[in-house]
Structure 1
Amino acid sequence: MLEQFIYIADMIGVISCAISGVLVATRLRMDPVGIIVLAAVTGIGGGTLRDMMMGATPVFWIVDNNYTYVITITAILTVFWLKHIHRSPPYLLMILDAFGLAIFTIVGAQKALALGFSGPVAIAMGCITGVVGGMIRDLLSGQIPFVLQKEIYATASVLGGVLFVLCSYLEFTPILAMSIAISGTLSLRLSAIYWHLSLPVFASDREA
């Protein structure tokens, strides 16, 4: 049951992030190849780097082709949907990103603990899984990634990783631990979006 829960959650995260990649690609008027590329890197980029860093190879989407099928189908359906509504809601990208961030963070942290890595490493792997796909998407589209701005983004991911590791050490059931951590990450990120919460920024007026 745990494996099924993780698999379904991971797929939901992939779909959410793939849609966000399509939203960015269509706003920039990319061709079909560009749309698929942005959908793919957003959906599986973080997990790919995570697996490579932990030596969990071949990486998950090479072993399970369902990930590539889901990304491709999601991209096609999203393009048709966008053509039908003509314009997507302004906050849709950030909301989808929030769901992907929350799910991927906990899936990444869970995999690290399952492979025997320490709590701090699990938190780091969760953060990498959560933020890297969006970073690659934004860099490819010529934007400053959310994680490098004042957005409460990586902070929410770290919170989720810490919650999951603590719940695991307290011997909560894995599904309960993941649910609590996902809820914590998602709540912080959505609250930051809704109330325009942000981290302080630092700037210098001095010239180099």
Structure 2
Amino acid sequence: MAAGGRQAAEAERRVGLSRRRRQPDDAALRPFTHMKRIEQVVLAADLAGTAVFAVEGANAAIGAGLDLFGVMVLSLVVALGGGVIRDLLIGARPPSAVSDWRYPALAFASGLFAFVFHERVAAFSPSLLTTLDAAGLALFAVAGAVKALEFRVHPFIATLMGAVTGCGGGVVRDVLLARIPVVLVTDIYASAALLGAVVVVSCRRLGCSPIVAAVLGGVACFALRMAAVRFGWQLPKIAAGA
């Protein structure tokens, strides 16, 4: 009887061990959950910024007198250009704009919307368009910095990638339209993207969650850009011919 009891106890112990092996280890899953959260932050900010900048690119193309094809090209360039440059520089290949169909589809749809409903979009107040542009800049700056950190680049480089993501598409747009890039001559713009990226990188280095870092960085970028527009802040420059 004693031997039978020991055998039964041993069998129960083995069954318990087997069940524990099949159950997921929370500690082991935690890094995967963390990475998933980072990916969600990047995706949400990237897609939102894509829609905003695609409309802006379409407006610039319409203002330059381009046809439908030109409008769609400018929409895609402005919406996806900064992200493509960022991904190539940090080694994210293929770029998200190529590997994820949602990026070009959203940019195309947003550009087409701006073309078809141009009169309604043109009726938007300048302040609203400026606000949307600042929001798009903040979203892209945040997404660029967060994704660069995800690929374990140096924090300084991650900061630059935030600015590249926010301003890269606009620079390519201006080159295609044969004009000096707006980020080089306008009131504080790229600097706002840099500030947002600095806040994101600093918060992540201090142990903040990706969502908290993204929110704080986005608010900082948006606030500086809107304040620069409101009060006419500009970086120092030397007048031509001086």
Q: State the TM-score bracket (shorter-chain normalisation).
A: over 0.9
Secondary structure of 1:171 counterpart: coil
TM-score normalised to structure 1 length = 0.92
Q: Does 1:193 align with 2:229?
A: yes
Q: Which residues of structure 1 form unaligned runs of 5+? A: none
- Shift of residue 195 of structure 1? 1.8
Larger Rg, first or second structure (1 or 2)? 2
| Contiguous gaps of at least 5 residues in structure 2 | 1-36
> Could you tell me which residue of structure 2 aligns to residue 139 of structure 1?
175
Secondary structure of the 1:191 match is helix
Is 1:5 equivalent to 2:5 in the alignment? no
**Shift in Å, 1:196:** 1.6
Pick the structure with more helix per residue. 2
Deviation at 1:76, TM superposition (A): 1.3
Sequence identity (%): 34
Normalising by structure 2, report the TM-score: 0.80
Paired residue for 1:27, among 63, 81, 85?
63
Q: Which protein, 1 or 2, shows the higher relative CO under an 8 Å CA cutoff with sep ≥ 6?
A: 1
Matched, 1:54 2:90: yes
Q: After TM superposition, what 4+ stretches of structure 1 lie above 6 angstroms from structure 2?
A: none
SS across alignment from 2:235 = coil
Q: How well do the aligned residues superpose, as a CA RMSD in angstroms?
A: 1.7
Aligned-residue offset at 1:87: 4.1
Question: Which residue number corresponds to residue 21 of structure 2?
Answer: none
Quickly say closer, same or farther: Cα 1:34–1:183, change in 2 above 3 A.
Answer: same
Number of aligned residue pairs: give it.
206
Counterpart Cα distance in 2 of 1:168 and 1:57: 24
- SS, match of residue 117 in structure 2: helix
What residue identity is the alignment partner of 2:64? L
Of 154, 159, 163, the match for 2:199 = 163
Aligned to 1:203: 239
**Alpha-carbon distance between aligned partners in 2 of 1:63 and 1:159, rounded to the nearest angstrom:** 29
Mapped to 2, the partners of 1:71 and 1:161 lie a distance apart of 23
How far residue 28 of structure 1 moved from its aligned partner, in angstroms, is: 1.4
**2:52, 2:136 within 8 Å by CA — same for their partners in 1?**
yes
